[in-house]
């Protein structure tokens, strides 16, 4: 196939040019050191996957101690971690990709044992999942402190030499919890109407951009989930209001987090168009849109690139670290499309990530071996 679009360069609004249109999606790998530093296993994992893509969006890094969302997650919440972050940024860049640090706060989705036994959120409303803790509602001054923490994490990313940051406003974490009418029942300036529920994410963007403007070439992106299945929950109409405002913020991209790029609404069966397409139609002329979700083949990536300028690949790069290089070389036939349980070392996969994948049926296609 011609792959006309995939290997075109792309210049972001701030003037930074990506060598191609494919990015590595942010994926947690459970492999950092206990103190929040990046481990040797993680560095090796990123070396293996940073050669072909135009940019790597890293696994999420928490901006406060009570924002950790996963065991063995590397952090960006204190200055002592800057040397560790610098190793990660340099490792990615040395392979030829731009390095973008994803920054977040898990909010009510944090494992209680990682955050001192008590989760926090916009309001004291538990997630709709079995055994979930009811979070403590953040005080107004705590909200302000977390906004400032996003700015400080951005400063650390800049000092560490990253090319940019991605604000993680997706996948049910704290920023999304403020947007959602399910998790945000506040009656102060941070909640109530949709406009007030959007105040927190917009304040985070402002805090990040206030720091990032010191270097005009520093990339700032924003990731969001366009809908929630909960009732009340975020609707596509809510999201269109969010992206209208984000598009005016001078961001370098919007990253739409869905499971399937081409699937329709998860709330409205009558809406068969992809939320990614709807976002592109709404604001794509103002800010670049990244699409993601079950793009397995070069043909699917090329099809997606007829709708948006950039795509991110996740599971494909876990199963085949050199996916982009193989497509570029015309070696599509050798691309791995399932995980062989005997290939952990060959795929440079940290132990915890490997075990998580192998023990979770249906997450990845696993090659069945005959005894």
Among 156, 161, 160, 163, which residue's Cα sits nearest to residue 99?
A: 163
Rounded to whole angstroms, the Cα distance separating 24 from 315 reads 9
Strands 289-292 and 310-313: parallel
| Helix, strand or coil, per DSSP, at residue 157 | helix
Q: How many CB atoms lie within 10 A of CB 170?
A: 22
Q: Which of 46, 173, 222, 253 is catalytic?
A: 173
Assigned token pair, 142? 């705590």
Rounded to whole angstroms, the Cα distance separating 185 from 139 reads 13
Tell the residue number behind the tokens 């270097």, with chain if given: 215
Among 117, 19, 102, 18, which residue's Cα sits nearest to residue 66?
A: 117
Among 21, 167, 166, 13, which residue's Cα sits nearest to residue 100?
A: 166
Asked if 351 contacts 29 with a C-beta cutoff of 8 angstroms, the reply is no
Tell the residue number behind the tokens 């069945």, with chain if given: 368
Rounded to whole angstroms, the Cα distance separating 220 from 102 reads 10
45 counts as catalytic: no
Residue 29 C-beta-side C-alpha neighbours within 13 Å: 28
Asked if 95 contacts 44 with a C-beta cutoff of 8 angstroms, the reply is no
Rounded to whole angstroms, the Cα distance separating 163 from 319 reads 26
Rounded to whole angstroms, the Cα distance separating 104 from 166 reads 9
Active site residues: 173
């Amino acid at each position: 196939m011609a792959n006309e679009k995939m290997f075109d360069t792309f210049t972001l609004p701030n003037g930074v040019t990506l060598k191609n249109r494919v990015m590595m999606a942010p994926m947690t790998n459970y492999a950092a050191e206990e103190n929040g530093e990046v481990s040797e296993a993680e560095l090796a994992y990123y070396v293996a996957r940073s050669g072909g893509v135009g940019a790597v969006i890293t696994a999420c890094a928490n901006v406060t101690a009570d924002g950790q969302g996963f065991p063995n997650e590397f952090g960006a919440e204190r200055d002592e971690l800057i040397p560790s972050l610098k190793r990660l940024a340099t490792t990615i860049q040395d392979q030829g990709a731009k390095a973008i640090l994803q920054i977040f706060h898990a909010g009510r989705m944090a494992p209680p044992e990682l955050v001192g036994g008590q989760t926090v959120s916009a309001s004291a409303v538990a997630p709709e999942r079995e055994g979930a803790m009811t979070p403590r509602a953040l005080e107004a001054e705590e909200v302000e402190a977390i906004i400032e923490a996003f700015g400080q994490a951005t400063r650390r990313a800049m000092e560490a030499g990253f090319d940019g940051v991605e604000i993680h406003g997706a996948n049910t974490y704290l920023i999304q919890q403020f947007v959602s009418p399910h998790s945000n029942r506040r009656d102060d300036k941070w909640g109530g109407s949709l406009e007030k529920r959007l105040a927190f994410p917009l304040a985070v963007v402002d805090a990040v951009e206030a720091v990032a403007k010191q270097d005009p070439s520093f990339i700032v992106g924003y990731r969001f989930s366009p809908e929630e299945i909960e009732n009340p929950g975020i609707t596509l109409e809510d999201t269109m209001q969010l992206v209208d405002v984000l598009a005016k913020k001078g961001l370098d991209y919007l990253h739409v987090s869905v499971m399937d790029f081409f699937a329709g609404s998860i709330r409205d069966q009558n809406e068969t168009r992809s939320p990614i397409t709807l976002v592109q139609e709404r604001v794509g002329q103002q800010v670049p849109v990244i699409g993601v979700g079950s793009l397995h083949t070069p043909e699917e990536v090329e099809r997606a690139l007829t709708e948006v300028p950039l795509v991110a690949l996740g599971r494909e790069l876990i199963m085949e670290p050199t996916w982009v290089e193989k497509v570029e070389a015309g070696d599509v036939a050798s691309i791995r499309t399932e995980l062989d349980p005997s290939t952990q070392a060959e795929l440079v996969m940290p132990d915890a990530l490997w075990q998580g994948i192998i023990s979770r049926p249906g997450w990845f296609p696993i090659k069945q071996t005959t005894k």
